[in-house]
Chain A
Amino acid sequence: MAEAGLNAEDLALLSESAAQFARSKRTTADTSGRIDFSRADWSQMARQGWLSILIPLERDGLGLDLVAASAVARQLGRHARPEPFVAAGVAAGKCLAASTNSPLWNERLASFMGGKLLTSLAWQPGGKAFDHGAGTVIARGAANGRRLTGSCRLVAAPASDAFIVTAHSEDGPILCWAEAGVSGLSLTIERCVDGSPLGLLQFDDVFVPEHDILAGGEAAAAVLREVVDASLVVNAAELLGLMEGALALTLDYLRTRKQFGVTIGSFQSLQHRAVDIWIELQLTAAAQNAAARVAGNRTTAPLDRSAAASAVKARAAQAALVLAKEALQMHGAIGFAAEYGLGVFFNRAQVLAPWMGNAAQHRRRFDAISRGSATPQSNEVQ
């Protein structure tokens, strides 16, 4: 299952096609400020092959690496797109790629890659801990399957057709398939500050047949670790794109806005602040590129890959929030107006930075890994 890297030229082409897609779309919030992406746009992304990037060749995917997936995410971020590429593309895809090569899973994988089946990973327990094994969904043994009880919050792409659920069982974590609307499963939508939805899934004795268990035990823990690490790295790329979008607007503003008879970008105090956020962006870009190579390299030890993933998430989350706040301040009042374009970057950064763990949580995970205790206690990670 080797993943291949694109050469610089093909990578630039991929990036450009993602940029064209992202530039061509306009998604505006409804009167209540809600933003929901369209399934038609999702299908278009599927037709471009972006949902197949991380799927191995032998499962009919493109067999490409995290650098390629990052190029797409970065462009989506650059235009503050609402499509949940990381949750419903990267995380879901990597889970499905770990399924058994059977007709049932092959069909699901094919529908996923075709954009017809929207599915998302439900793993973040209560929005509280950052710990792969933890979960408040409990799987109990039942005849020919399991029964799930509990809840899972902050599930991205809650309009999914099905969820890949992480649950605790007597034999360790399991990953299982639960279709939306299945008996006992209820969904509540919570809205984020950027208008995007996150789901609260409640499982009230939901039956999962044996064939819907994607992985269990140690295999499930390993799959989950890899899925989470890949998602963190690509999430960092999307944050990087948001930073680029916000910085470009800010530099334009500094070059054109006049006060006191001069362009405000000629003030040294503003120049130096602009340089500092530009540096944050350059560092994040170099770190993200390196992390995509380390975290996607299967010959590297899993813990080193996780360390690289957490390090880059810590950097990107912090840098994006700093840059967003500085961009707002340098714009002055206009930046706070919803009609002006900065707000979409600002608000989306507030959502993507803490999603899957904020900077402080990932510093803690990085530190725990560096010091040799692989799994930080979940109660330490508030």
Chain B
Amino acid sequence: MRFGVPQERDWNSLDDEYFRDIIRFEFESHYPSYLRYPPRRLLWRENADWFRRMASKGWIAPNWPAEYGGMGLSGPKLLIFLEEQERWGIARYQDHGTLMVGPLLIRFGTNEQRERFLPPILACEERWCQGYSEPDSGSDLASLKTRATRDGDCFIINGQKIWTTMAHDVDHIFVLARTDMNAKKQEGISFFLVDLASSGITVRSIRDIAGHDELCEVFLDKVRVPAAHVVGQVNQGWALAKSLLGFERVSLGSPKMPEYGLQILSRIAKACGVEDDPTFRDRFAGLQIDVRHLGDIYHHFAARIHKGEALGQDVSMLKIVATELFQKIADLIVETAGPLAGLAGDTIIGDDTINIMAPFYKARPASIYGGTNEIQRNIIAREILELPSR
């Protein structure tokens, strides 16, 4: 079977800088400028045109092999693609399909699963969210209680997921559910691909303290899912989920958000007239150096991925460093803005218009989602530093 549209070139054979020019030209010429660096996640109707354009060019899955409809980019080329995307402030869509489901099925899925699920991901016809957390299973995810029981060629799923990002704006969800009640908690979990239109599913959005409606609750009441939509072996879902988390921690560790924060900080300082203040200079320089060195260590991990090395648990550090640095930068933005920092939304400061609090509200949950930073520290302490548990 052919997946996606054919690639116009063998990208990996191009000179790096020439490749960068091609990508940059496309982004700069066609990405709508009013969508650059949005202060919140965009809804599909807001950025669908752009990603459909990417899909029709065959650029929607730069990380997938070309035989599955991706761009088939080698490590350095993929890095260039992502760098240019970030540099131009291109908003993400709900891209769990290309980032997670696709690579997972390419690696662990059956042919039938690939043929059923990959084409609509490539065409942006089916978009995905991640059903992991539950009301009583946050940091202790493996204690999850959503249950799937076998019924003929189906499973019947009952339970509740929460903090599911953008579940109200997508049509599919991948779900971790317990299939063996008697096994040790990590060993009885399976990985399901579920259509959100299935009967028995209710999605409700949760307003957050920043005033956004990005998070959701997903209720599953006797939802029938074909047994053929279990990825990997039944009861082996925990290992699959963990293999995706490593990747997530690399992408959450990108210097993109801190770099963006520094740009805002620089503009605020200018607008507030403190850009030459020695105290401000010292703190700004310190943060610039921190972002530079985050970039150094991010590239160290990226290079390991590109060489095909499996990442160890030390990758947890990236998420800690990137998110806490972003928070420090956001805090200094708030402090620099002084009393103006109470104002919501785009605010006129001097000659500039800046959404002062957007980085701050973006930065706060970053140390919570994707595994809290405390959990990341636990992982490093146990797995890397080999400190004893109690």
Residue ranges of A at the interface with B (Cβ–Cβ < 8 Å): 251, 254-255, 262-263, 265-266, 268, 270-272, 274-276, 278-279, 282-284, 286-287, 289-290, 311-312, 314-315, 360, 363-364, 366-367, 370
Contacts and interface: CB of A to CB of B under 8 A. Distances in A.
B330 to A, nearest CB: 20
B381 A286 contact: no
A314 B286 contact: yes
Contacts of A290: 293, 296, 299
Given A254-B387, A255-B387, A364-B285, A311 B321 contact: no
A272 B297 contact: no
A263 B288 contact: no
Interface string B257-301: 000000000000000000000000110111011001110110110
B5 interface: no
A366 B317 contact: no
Nearest to B298: A286
Contact of A262 (B288, B300, B386, B390): B390
Contacts of B321: 279, 283
B285 A363 contact: yes
A230 B196 CA distance: 59
Given A272-B374, A286-B300, 7 more contacts: A263-B388, A274-B381, A278-B317, A283-B321, A311-B289, A311-B292, A363-B282
Contact of B289 (A275, A279, A366): A366
B282 A278 contact: no
Interface in B290-314: 292-294, 296-297, 299-300, 314
B235 interface: no
Interface of B: 281-282, 284-286, 288-289, 292-294, 296-297, 299-300, 314, 317, 320-321, 374, 377-378, 380-381, 384-390
Given A271-B378, A286-B297, A289-B296, A364 B385 contact: no
Contacts of B286: 314, 363
B293 A282 contact: no
A366 B294 CA distance: 16
A360 B289 CA distance: 12
Contacts, number: 92
Contacts of B381: 268, 271-272, 274-275
Nearest to A363: B285
A370 B297 contact: no
A251 B387 contact: yes
Contacts of A282: 297, 314, 317
Contact of B285 (A271, A272, A366): A366
23 contacts: A251-B385, A251-B386, A255-B386, A263-B388, A265-B388, A268-B381, A271-B381, A272-B381, A274-B385, A275-B320, A283-B294, A286-B293, A290-B296, A311-B293, A312-B293, A363-B282, A363-B285, A363-B286, A364-B285, A366-B289, A367-B281, A367-B284, A370-B285
Contacts of A265: 387-388
A272 B289 contact: no
Contacts of A289: 296, 300
B367 to A, nearest CB: 13
Query: Interface centre among B285, B300, B389, B390, by most A CB within 10 Å?
Result: B285
Contacts of A283: 293-294, 296-297, 321
B385 A279 contact: no
A168 B385 CA distance: 51
Contacts of B300: 286, 289
Contacts of A364: 281-282, 285
Contacts of B317: 278-279, 282
Contact of B380 (A268, A278, A363, A366): A278
Given A263-B388, A266-B389, A366 B281 contact: no
Contacts of B385: 251, 271, 274-275, 278
Contacts of A367: 281-282, 284-285, 288
Contacts of A370: 285, 288
A283 B286 CA distance: 14
Contacts of B285: 314, 363-364, 366-367, 370
Contacts of B389: 266
A268 B293 contact: no
Highest count of chain A CB atoms <10 Å: which of B293, B300, B389: B293
A284 B286 CA distance: 14
A367 B280 CA distance: 11
Contacts of A271: 377-378, 381, 385, 387
A262 B296 CA distance: 38
Contacts of B388: 255, 263, 265-266
Nearest to A250: B385
A301 B321 CA distance: 29
A270 B381 CA distance: 10
**Which are the 10 A-B pairs with shortest beta-carbon distances?**
A367-B285, A271-B381, A286-B297, A287-B293, A290-B296, A265-B387, A363-B285, A286-B296, A266-B390, A275-B377
Contacts of A312: 293
Contacts of B284: 367
B153 to A, nearest CB: 46
